[in-house]
Structure 1
Amino acid sequence: MPRALLTTPETAVPALGSGGPGSHTGLLAKVVFGLLLAFCLTPWASPPLALALGLVLAQTLGNPFPAFTKKHTSNLLQFSVIGLGFGLNAHAAVQAGREGVLFTVVSILGTLVLGYVAGRWLKLDRVVTHLISCGTAICGGSAIAAVGPVVGAKDEEMSVALGTVFVLNAVALFAFPPIGHALAMSQQQFGLWCAIAIHDTSSVVGATAAYGSEALGVATTVKLARALWIIPVALGTAYFFKQKDVKVKLPWFILGFIGAMLLNTYVPATHVVGSWLVKLARLGLVVTLFFIGAGLSLKTIKAVGPRPFGLGVLLWVVISAASLYVIVKL
């Protein structure tokens, strides 16, 4: 089992090599990487397209700058999320968050219980089962990164959980918008569904940005509120796994997002600057997804294994279908 997965607070990026510093393949990969990155900064690039370009690069030439993408992916995503806060109204966000509370509580508890039962049925390791369940229930890579140290997870176990969640994130980013349009979901319905059923914040924002600005606002607010559940879940994990002296870090960028939203709502003087920050945030999101896509290799996918991936798919399908039914029918 490979030990080379690079983890960030909001996503997991597999470590990839290039064709060698002096090889023609390595040089070509660097040139193509630069051209694709430049394209991601143009108005023609979208979050799904950026992810697709990164995936194509990873499967063909490979990521020539794994250290660079590792270093900047997490921070770029976090600053982008903060920037998106300047485009939201606090009153609307509170309403959206209030409507998503019940879904959040039920889906998190239901996913953790189902994950435990399904993990035993699949005869999976207890730690791997819990990591995949937490990643599905809360917010993907960030939840796994927070809970992993609590359960004393090994590198191999972290790799399996992160790889499973990351692959499903990529699928969701492409699959959810067409489903939303096919079912004629409203902006609010689609945003709420994505916040509940897609793992990482990056893919949630990417999918809803392609659907509409209202969906993006609802999804971002509900997803970040959901991310706060990392704290009680990590503490509960420490109790059930009999761990002591556990320290759980609050994702700081959530506070930045709230601050930006409050400024946009109550300080009109920030609107001009805020509009530019929102535009920069959208560009940052596109580049982030390109970096994420460039980090997913076939080697990483194969390393996950059928049973952990089966657990991840089962949990993801159940939470996606159940939340979709409730949102559309009720």
Structure 2
Amino acid sequence: MNNKKLLAIIVCIGIAVVATFLGEVQSIIGGPMLGLIIGMIIVNTIPSISSEFKAGTSWTGKKFLNLGIVLTGATLSFNQILGLGAKAMPLLLFNIVVAFLVSYAVGKKLEVTQNTSALVASGTAICGGTAIATMSSVIGAKEDEIAYAMTSIFLFDLLAALSYPYLATALNLTNNQFGFLAGTSINDTSSVTAAESTYSILSGIDSNIAITIKLARTILLVVIVVIGAIMTARKQAEANGSGSSESTSPSIMETIIKKFPKFILVFLLMAILNTIGLFDGISWAGTFFKKASKFFITTALAGVGFKVRFKSLFTDGLKPIILGGVTWLSLFLSSMIFISVFANYIG
């Protein structure tokens, strides 16, 4: 490992330390998103650092994020799916379909790449940056596609976190209805927590419904991995001439097996171990896994921030931002319709 690469990794870790601290002293923007913002500010203030740190920030953006996702698994439990998660599952699965259909339809009109549409749909439907990184590893997305998708997701995630509590109060939503709305259509866990905290102050009701549904939603990372693998298989079939009898394109199942990220298997294993209570006897385990996973993800997003140039963000990146806004709005409307039509079911 050369000195510049090592220095870039150290800088990303330093950014994560600052971002984590800032994320704890206020509840609106979480550490991971602050890491992304700080990385963006640094690279746009000192443009030359982009090429010098490229190898290190790329390595950090991939490796640290994979580790963060694995440790996130240790904070999840399949018991969450059996409770509120199971109740919200029809809406969560429907929203995945909505996100991909809308993102692809609008993305085609905006003439953005299919990869960008897939990343925006994944981030909007599941869990923001974590889902984008997971999908990118399956479909082989470019760094600029990843950076623009993450920036887009951040903007509308922040808007949702700030507006939902007041909107819910104005519409007289029940505690359960707000929990379903926030848990199914706000992406980042820290943003869901912030929105739920604000709503608790406004309503006078302490609740963790939104965060419980959000954690159950995270487990659906596996679904987008399969979607990404199917996309890749179809692309390979088209590239090799899928209509030809001599085509040697791998089957969809072969592509899923080949492209399925190994770290997602470890993520699932950690969730299973947590579900069966393996970590219950370790008093510090829960806090450690929660903080460590968030710190590694923050470090990774700091690296991703180094890929975003403000000049190109409002030229090349403007279409992905519009795409992110439309896709987020479609999920907001989907969730609002669901909680209105099935108010008795939700409670």
- TM-score, normalised relative to structure 2: 0.64
Secondary structure at the aligned position of 1:270 is classed as coil
Query: 1:128-157: per-residue Cα shift (whole Å, max 9, x none)?
Result: 2x3333223333343244235xxxxxx8xx
How much has 1:171 moved relative to structure 2? 0.8
Distance 1:60 1:234, change over 3 A: same
Tell me which residue corresponds to 1:248.
259
CA contact (8 A) 2:98 2:330 kept: no
Tell me which residue corresponds to 2:146.
162
AA in 2 matched with 1:137: A
How much has 1:38 moved relative to structure 2? 4.1
1:60 aligns with 2:52: no
1:235 aligns with 2:230: yes
Residues in 1 aligned to 2:233 and 2:182: alpha-carbon distance in whole angstroms: 29
| Equivalence map 1:211-226=2 (5 Å) | 211=195, 214=208, 215-226=210-221
Distance 1:132 1:94, change over 3 A: farther
Residues in 2 aligned to 1:231 and 1:293: alpha-carbon distance in whole angstroms: 27
How much has 1:303 moved relative to structure 2? 5.5
AA in 2 matched with 1:95: G
Tell me which residue corresponds to 2:294.
282
Residues in 2 aligned to 1:34 and 1:232: alpha-carbon distance in whole angstroms: 32
CA contact (8 A) 1:173 1:206 kept: no
AA in 2 matched with 1:140: I
Tell me which residue corresponds to 2:121.
137
Name stretches of at least 5 consecutive residues in structure 1 with no aligned partner.
1-20, 22-26, 149-154
How much has 1:222 moved relative to structure 2? 0.8
Query: 1:70-101: per-residue Cα shift (whole Å, max 9, x none)?
Result: 21233333333443444444422433442343
CA contact (8 A) 2:12 2:299 kept: no
Of 137, 160, 166, which aligns to 1:176?
160
Query: 1:304-323: per-residue Cα shift (whole Å, max 9, x none)?
Result: 25555544432232223333
Secondary structure at the aligned position of 2:281 is classed as helix
Tell me which residue corresponds to 1:39.
18
- TM-score, normalised relative to structure 1: 0.67
AA in 1 matched with 2:333: A
Residues in 1 aligned to 2:104 and 2:314: alpha-carbon distance in whole angstroms: 24
Distance 1:268 1:146, change over 3 A: closer
AA in 1 matched with 2:138: A
CA contact (8 A) 1:80 1:280 kept: yes
Residues in 1 aligned to 2:45 and 2:104: alpha-carbon distance in whole angstroms: 37
AA in 2 matched with 1:178: L
How much has 1:172 moved relative to structure 2? 3.1
Tell me which residue corresponds to 2:68.
80
> What's the % identity of the aligned pairs?
16
AA in 2 matched with 1:113: L
Aligned length: 287
Residues in 2 aligned to 1:234 and 1:75: alpha-carbon distance in whole angstroms: 20
Secondary structure at the aligned position of 2:259 is classed as coil
Tell me which residue corresponds to 1:16.
none
Tell me which residue corresponds to 1:70.
58
